[in-house]
Structure 1
Amino acid sequence: MSKILIIEESSTLRHVLLKILTDSEFEVDIEVKFEDGLRCLESTNGKAYSAVIIGWPNITLASADDLLSLLCDKKYQNIALLALSHETEAAKIAWASSRPKTGFLLWSNYGEIVQSVRNLMSNHTLTVPVIVNNELEPIRILLVDDSPTARVKFRRLLVKNGYRTDAVSSPEEALKKVKSTQYDIAIIDYFMPVMTGDELCQRFQDDIYTSSIVCAILTSAYADKVITDSLQAGAVECMFKNESDNLFLARVSALSRNVQNTKQINQEHKRLNGILSSVGDGVFGINNNNEINFINPTALNILGYADGEHLIGKKPHEVFHTKVSQQGNEKISAKKLYKNITKKTQKLALETYFIRFDGNQTQVELTIFPLQIEGKTEGAVIAFRDISERKLLEEELMWQVNHDPLTKMFNRKYFEDALEEEVRRLKRSNDESALLYIDLDRFKYINDTAGHATGDQLLIELGHMMNQRLRESDLLARIGGDEFAVIMRNIDKNSITEAVEKFQSLLSGYEFSYKGREYKIHASIGVAMINKGSASPGEVLSNSDIACYVAKTNGRDQVHVYDAVQDEKAAMDLDLGWSTRLQNAMEDDNFELHFQPILLLSDIHIKDLPNKNGELWNTLLKSKAIQSPFYEVLIRLPDSNNSIIAPGAFLPTAERFNLMPSIDRWVINDALRQLSILVKSYPNAQISINLSGQTFDNDEIVEDIQQNIEHYKLNPSSIIFEITESSAIYNIESAQRLIKELTWYGCKFALDDFGSGYCSFSHLKNLPVDYIKIDGMFIQELLHDSMDLAIIKSITEISHALGKKTVAEFVENAEVLQKLKECGVDYVQGYYIAPPKALNLIENDNK
């Protein structure tokens, strides 16, 4: 197992590094300060570690400079070094590229850390010597002359002036010498027995191992043939034995400068090749004829080629880039793309498909950098990365954002977007469409008598059956617990009744069988027409809801088409009835608060988990394993039969009548009152209270919260306010202001339903919350969907890197809980831990 030394000041980033590396089976030592890391390396002479990872310091530190200097020592240059930074600076990259086995990576690309370390540690990684202007090795010269006097004279002159010089007396000796020693320059006497100087020069040039030697011919007299033969054999200079020492040395110095320049160019080329070989992106270059002139190992690996032999000299659009590319909203053919590169001066970024050697295609993100040399375009460098997995993840995320996880049908969000688009379309048309609002009759009875699993299976089967009967242009969505909606496009009012009655008959004629029991299904359907006169999507949805209400009041299992005049009273009854009921509930304190436990996973042992749902929390409380209970506060409304009405039934009306700020205020006051009782038994207890988007703009809410906290003498840090991701983004400025004011006071915030938005991660920097509550749609299929598992891990790792805790909801069994603990999730919540209950019932259960 390879051992890695980490030096990073940030505890959060150290945690990220430790998790990433230990998960990849690296052994890790961690130091916070550079001076401690320096001692670790010096105490073992660098032999204990295969690699060092450092977080580049934000300010200049003498201890950091000392450590970097030590790592540049020859004794430590075999240790791979990866420098991590939050930003790119030329000086950092220059330093990293000057040391062998060294890489530079931005923290934002932390997912590439493991592969980068492995690349740097690999024996195949090119190690490049440090080049610092005048610190190149001295020039090594081979002097070949059969005259002892000349050998002694010129060797002494060369050595005195700093040249490493070997002298031999014959071409035969010279040919043996160059096999064991590498020379930069050969100074060869022209007139020698057996072989002349130009012939020896030609032998050097013809041999691949000696062709880089710069040859100069030494002669006693000027002769055209000597000079012509020498130059034709590859000599670059002719020198004369009778010229002054200064002139001789000037000629040698000129040769040396050329050699040094060539060495620097070659070493720079090696270093660049080393960098290209170690980067995680594929890179290839093209000339002005669009022919590939270099390609790095990562590119070959992505494209499935063993080497570049089949690609060098070929045009990308003839070999692997044969597909159309997407640049913004514009599509461009590969041939045209490369043809236009030489006309560009700015880099291009686009997405496309490459064809692998095996014929399969892979999706890539492409960046093209045109090369400008002295004002002229000299081809381009193309960097690309395989984004196939990312695209699959994005597609899965987009699917989950728009679909109901249980039935796999479109969800309410997608339906509302589609309805808005349909209303907008019909504003410009004389066509008509219809919205069907379908509510299953007595679904609650099936749920209560046969269980939630039976109810879920019924919803799945009904959804599948309805999908089979839709026209191609229709759209079906599940918009609530037992509520569905259908947009029937391009159907007029004269035809709608017959079409909907057939749909209703289909539902009413369906007999649901589950575990040997038969259930007769009925549904009430409300219909609202959509046309040029429809004011808004909200109005259309409200009209269909009212029509469904009328269908139910007419005896259920009915169809009713909304009529603005006839249904006005029903609309008022439906909305005003709820409105009055909610206002009375606040005035008479008829609402109830239920508390659902949120369990810290570090408080439990996986091996001791109970099998029965709801036992875990009670067991932990009774055993005193939980000293700081944490609950989410949930509002409920009792009805006249003493049964409980869930918030989904009355909160939409509360929002329509702008009652949510008043309801939130009632919840906050009663929740803090009950918390003041709870802290007498559990001083460190915490509660989480939901706030609606309408409350964000309420000018009095912050003052009300502060007054309640002071009245009940509570610690503000024991109170967490939950806001949903969608409401926060919709009211971003109000949400930021509310979070700022209450966190300054000492309260905390949680972002609920995280992941339901397509760009969730981008919102975190704008919303300084303390907890991330992972959307339940990722939890419900966790055991059967590897994509959900990957998303949960990603959310958890990024949340931890940002210093935030994670909470997973909808935990329904021990297997899900165990998997979430493996993912690193901090807290869990759900019916497996405990259902929501009134606080006094929870206390009674634990006496």
Structure 2
Amino acid sequence: MTPRFFRHSQYTISVGFVLVLILMAAIAVIGLTRMAAINERMNVIVSQHNVKTDLVAAMRNAARERSISLHRMALMTDPFDREDEHQYFRRMAEEFLKARDALKAMSLSTLEQQTLADSQALTRQSTLIQEAVYGLVQEQRLDEANTLLLREAVPAQNRVLAVLSKLLDYQRQATSEAVGFARREYDKAFYSMIGLGLLLVGLGAVIAFMVVRRTSHAEKALFHEKERAEVTLHSIADAVITTDGDGVVDYMNPIAEQLTGWQSAEARGHPIDQIFRVVNELNREAIKSPVSECKIEGRVVSVDPHGVLVARDGTEYAIEDSAAPIHDSHGAVIGYVVVFHDVSHARRLARQLSWQASHDVLTGLGNRLEFEAVMAQMWESAKFHNKQHALVYMDLDQFKIVNDTCGHAAGDELLRQLALIISAKVREGDSLFRLGGDEFAILLNGCPISRAEGIANEIRLVVEEFRFMWEEKPFSIGASIGLVPITVDSVSVASLLAAADAACYTAKEKGRNRVQVYEPSDTELVMREGEMAWLPRINRAIDEDRLQLYYQKIANVRDGDVMGGTQYELLLRMTDEHGAIVPPQAFIPAAERYNLMPNVDRWVIRHALDWITRHAAQVRDVSTIYINLSGQSLNDDKFLDFVTGQIQRLDGLGIKIGFEITETAAIANLSRAMRLMGALKEMGCVFALDDFGSGMSSFAYLKNLPVDKIKIDGVFVRDMLSDRVDYAMVEAINRIGHLMGIQTVAEFVENDAILQKLKELGVDYAQGYGIHRPEPLALLFAEPRLIHTTAIAR
């Protein structure tokens, strides 16, 4: 280029102008060198930004795929499909980490480094929550998994995506700044060349040609950089629309074309409001254009979170979007960019999860969570606006028969059919819920108790008349209903639920299939509420180890304590929150009512056997240690394994253990009682039948039970001196027991006269306050003496 320049210049320039030409050429070379440097720098910057954009897009895609994969796992029932999906879940994590590590290896600005670190911290939090969701899915706790996914995993993932979106925004901003920089540098070089051209107008075409050619090269470089920027916008997963300063569209990438239904060429020159039409999915009202908001705010803005994009053909897409101003080199706004993406699938999943969190999957009715929310609203309207509502609390009768006879599939079908039948009877404005198992609740809105009682009886009658068919077998069920008014006098939601439960339980006790209206003056209902108040106290006492064992002596009436070995019965007490001793009759009824006796029995057995282990030397001189078992424990399939496991750790002292079972519990659970007795007697244990004589068929069942002792019910012993019938009962039980080779124990022996009469009848053992008042078990070996101990879980 330079030799040609010299050859042409010799014809047009005088010798005196040579030095000027050399100077101008030097200036031109410097300018061209600067243009080349600008071009090279632009190549590097855009190349880096393209790579960064691709990596961030890969991270966003992997994160989004992990979230969707996790939800699919929560919905899958096939373990193999779930495992395949879990592998895919892991692969997405690997792709995310690979892209993140590659991004970290690049040259990053301080802001990019901080944003990447923020995304890494949020990713760790999100991963922990996702792993927790996956753990719940593995344990088949799908409701809890879906609740955790909705409440924590999805918001955590959205926070990660939001941070990654910031990185994309940084790249777009950097690209915009790079283009602005190139434009500024180009302007400087261009005008410098124009100035040189004016100065060198006398030099003519050669210098002009060289400048124009170099300028052309620079323009091509800028054009290529613009193309690269457009390719970047084409490659990202988000839709992008750019406008001029008046909001007129000048560019749309392919994703934007796909979602709006407009081609970029068609949309160019149209106002963005015409192309980008968004409405609120809840009220269908039009949402103001984000560009309009951006003009007012002068900053990045986001649209309504319930926004729906209406495409050209009427198709609707749930979207999330934002708009940002585009500034020139002087900070003036020269246009706007709108970025949005389709979140229809994610929003559908969110709605589905929200529905599942508040509804029973089996029946489609509202679940307990939804019930409690609506209940709270009704209580507030009654309390603060003097409204009258009613709570119908319903427990099905005979449902267990269907489950036990035909299986859980039949039980589920019965609940589905019954939900439909009851729903048809529920008034508009009222709400029906399934609380779990065979429990339902109806909230009657704006309904006084007199009308509510009629509605409750109508529903009870519908349930009573319903005939469920399963494999050509008909089944009839009933409903025990507790009805509670919700008025301005209602204390709290918890008190209403307690009252409803107490009323329902009373309805069952009165014969089932009836409606029991709660009345605060009803002593029976008050007693049930009192039992409910004991429920958390008993649980806390067990958790805090505030139950306490006492002991009471059992005297050998016929031969004395020496030959038979001194015997004791361990009695259960509770230490309340203030350190006072609570007798068993205060809390055992509540424990029996709410099925807590298996936990209480386990506590007694565990602590009694721990005490025996600590006093093994003294216990070896004892004949037998009796521990009383409740009827609820007999129905516990895992209880026998627990007891045998505890006895096996006694190192040969198992033969010192005996168990007491009440006559009523043994008869009500005869087959289970006989199986438990057989298994424990094989380990050397013995059995006593407690409260004998209280049942309807005592002697008929006695011959079938392998017991070693019978304890004569204290109701007969206490008044045997003044009541001839009681005396005859004690005499008959003692005589028949001896005929069957079973020893007898008289309970409630309160004075010497009763003890003397028992000796005359030949009763073997006696127990009661007339012989020994209970003392704390810790005092039992405070004095050296032989001991025979009985532990009783009540």
TM-score (norm 2): 0.46
Q: Which has the higher helix share?
A: 2
Q: Bigger relative contact order, structure 1 or 2, given CA contacts below 8 A and separation 6+?
A: 2
- Structure number with greater Rg is 2
